[in-house]
Amino acid sequence: MNTRVAYIASNTFREAVRDRVLYNLIAFALLLSGAAILVGQISIEIEKLVVINLGLTAVSLFGVVIAIFIGIGLVSKEIEKRTLYTVLSRPVRRWEFIVGKFFGLAGTLVVNAFFMAIGVFAALFYVSHKFVRADALILVALYFIILEFVIICSLALLFSSFSSPLLSAVFAFSLFVIGSFAEDLRNFAGMAHGFTRWLATGAAYLVPNFSAFNVITSVAHEQPVAGQLILNNTLYAVFYAIMALSGAVLIFENRDLK
Amino acid sequence: MPAIEILGLEKTYMVGFWRKRPKCALSPLHLTVEDGEIFGFLGPNGAGKTTTLKLLMGLVFPTSGTARILGHEWTDPSVKAQIGFLPEQPYFYDYLTAHELLEYYGQLSGVPAKQRKQRVEQVLQQVGLRDVKGVQLRKFSKGMLQRVGIGQAILHNPKLVFFDEPMSGLDPMGRREVRDLMEQLKHEGKTVFFSTHILSDAEALCDRVAIIHRGELRGVGAIEDLTSSVQGKVEVIWQGSQVPASIKALGAEIRVTPDRVRAIIDESQQDAVIDALRRERQRLVAITPVRTSLEAYFVEKLRHAETSVGSKA
């Protein structure tokens, strides 16, 4: 990686840590340990199912919220506070700034997800007292969640490059919600006719297809995940993130920093 | 080779809801700053000083025109390794300490790791922040932040330094230190380009100044040239509070303070005044030619600009 990109990424990560973003881990730990103790007492046979479902959903939601709330301010806040002036007056290219910010935020989320994953496995061990081979599937679900974060980070940065934090948050959340129902949107497009069909098909392919990344339920039921899906999702996330980041760079490269 | 050549840089913003109304922030500007000089860029608030600096830093894009910095196109990224910039009212990552911030900027400026640590310590010492290097910037006063700003601008030993209102927020001691620092930079052979609306700072420091108002260059030249328009008058100062009648009769402009008298007279009356003071046994303190101050020149240029705008309207 370009060294300046690495320095910017590392500073973005440091900012998140110093702004106590990782404190969300405490809330996550409390939620998960409370849930594990509760299901351990009230459910029979399905404790594991509940813990995996709840744990992975929480990992995803906590990460998405952090990705959006940090991501939307990554560029606009720097412009507003004018911290960007002393960065861009150095031999730093604008694209390096955007890419550095992206890796910094993505790195923060990966570290966050790593600690949450430890929590999920700890809660799982608490309720089932052992690990089985099928539990390794949780890692695939976690990998998909991280791919989701990569897409959301790039989208948040894209919106942050031209919009205010409030509007960026609205755009990013809307896309996350619509993207979570992307399969339904595609089905609707298949059933619609005329202009509506054209519009729905366009929207279905434009919004990120987050539903393809959600394997939490099947993993909780110990159903294997196809290798092809892992490959497709990886390529899709990388492609989508590159597209969104390219858009962010294109906008930012031509923007006056008033 | 000039340090800066500004060749018709112009900036017009489109304003209004539909961004259709043009607002000129800077009319085509032509300006040359020589290598090794301290150059003052003067103008009232909103004159276009910061816009010019932002254009040179590549933070905003010009509507037309170009510039050369240290002999290269100003958009050339390699140029930025050789320049330092202090923005107006700087704000930094407040979760970092002064040491961490300078370390980070050193990394971005390409200062080799081996030299970086030593250079950061040296700059912290130079700007008087060594004792608070471990304190987060969110706990810094405005004056301390200004010092950090100056530190980051000179950290990578640039050949050319741009300061936007460097004295802003500093107490008299701090201002004096910044003046000394600028003089030291000049002594080291660096070029300093600084914008200010505090004329005494410019008068004390600059080799040359430019005056800008409403986005237009109103005057440029060496301080001596701009202030040397002697009006054929001298100021005579003597001790005491008595004004001899013969001097009063000359129609001199007289100001009496508890222990001194200042009289502004025509040069031709100088001998007569000295004779009168001798006769009255007054103690002469000084005789100095009256020069147009930079402030007077500045005000005159601004008034002239206002008049021409008024007459056009």
Check residue A106 and give its pLDDT.
95
The per-residue pLDDT of chain B, averaged, comes to: 90
Residues of B in contact with A257 (CB under 8 A): 54, 59-60
Tell me, yes or no, whether B264 and B165 share the same domain.
no
Residues of B in contact with A8 (CB under 8 A): 108
CA distance A65 to chain B (A): 22
Chosen domain end from B227, B252, B267:
B227
Chosen domain end from B227, B251, B271:
B227
Nearest to B81 by CA among B107, B52, B113, B117: B107
Chain B, 139 to 198: residues with Cβ < 8 Å from chain A are 149, 152, 156, 162
Q: Which helix (H) or strand (E) holds B239?
A: strand B233-239
CATH number of the domain that B9 lies in?
A: 3.40.50.300
Tell me, yes or no, whether B96 and B137 share the same domain.
yes
Specify the pTM: 0.86
Domain-embedded: residue B308? no
Task: Answer whether A91 touches B (CB < 8 Å).
Answer: yes
Domain-embedded: residue B309? no
In this structure, the number of other CB atoms found within 10 A of the CB of residue B234 comes to 20
Residue of B nearest to A100 (CA): B108
Domain count, chain B: 2
Domain-embedded: residue B249? yes
Q: Which residues pair with residue B83 across a beta bridge? A: B160
Ramachandran angles phi, psi of B96, nearest 5°:
-100, 160
Contact call for residues A93 and B80 (beta carbons, < 8 A): no
pLDDT at B61 over 70: yes
Check residue A154 and give its pLDDT.
96
Task: Answer whether A193 touches B (CB < 8 Å).
Answer: no
Chosen domain end from B187, B205, B227:
B227
The predicted-structure confidence for B222-264, as pLDDT tens digits, reads as follows: 987 877 655 678 889 999 888 988 888 888 889 998 889 999 8
Tell me, yes or no, whether B222 and B245 share the same domain.
no
Task: Answer whether A83 touches B (CB < 8 Å).
Answer: yes
ipTM of this predicted complex?
A: 0.88
**Using a CB cutoff of 8 Å and minimum separation of 24, what contacts does B295-300 make?**
B295/B199, B297/B211, B297/B219, B297/B226, B297/B227, B297/B229, B298/B42, B298/B199, B298/B211
CATH number of the domain that B251 lies in?
A: 3.30.70
The per-residue pLDDT of chain A, averaged, comes to: 91
The residues, ordered by sequence, that sit 6+ positions from A111 with a Cβ below 8 Å of its Cβ are A13, A22
The domain spans of chain A are 3-253
Which residues of chain A register pLDDT less than 70?
1, 40, 43-45
Residues of A in contact with B109 (CB under 8 A): 90-91
Q: Choose among B58, B77, B87: nearest Cβ to A82.
A: B87
Tell me, yes or no, whether B181 and B265 share the same domain.
no
Residues of A in contact with B54 (CB under 8 A): 85, 257
B54: containing domain: 4-227
Task: Answer whether B300 touches A (CB < 8 Å).
Answer: no
Tell me, yes or no, whether B148 and B219 share the same domain.
yes
Band of residue B52 on the pLDDT scale cut at 50, 70, 90: very high
Nearest to B27 by CA among B75, B63, B66, B60: B63
Cα A137 from Cα A223, distance rounded (Å): 8
Domain-embedded: residue B263? yes
Domain-embedded: residue B298? no
Domain-embedded: residue B307? no
What is the b/e burial string over A237-246, where b = at least 16 CB atoms within 10 angstroms of the residue's CB?
A: beebbeebbe
Tell me, yes or no, whether B168 and B183 share the same domain.
yes
Tell me, yes or no, whether B150 and B258 share the same domain.
no
Task: Answer whether A162 touches B (CB < 8 Å).
Answer: no
- Over range B296-303, report the average pLDDT: 80
Residues of A in contact with B61 (CB under 8 A): 254, 256
The predicted-structure confidence for A192-241, as pLDDT tens digits, reads as follows: 988 999 998 898 889 999 999 999 999 999 899 999 999 999 999 999 99
Mutate to test the interface with A, among B59, B63, B108, B154 (most CBs of A within 10 A): B108
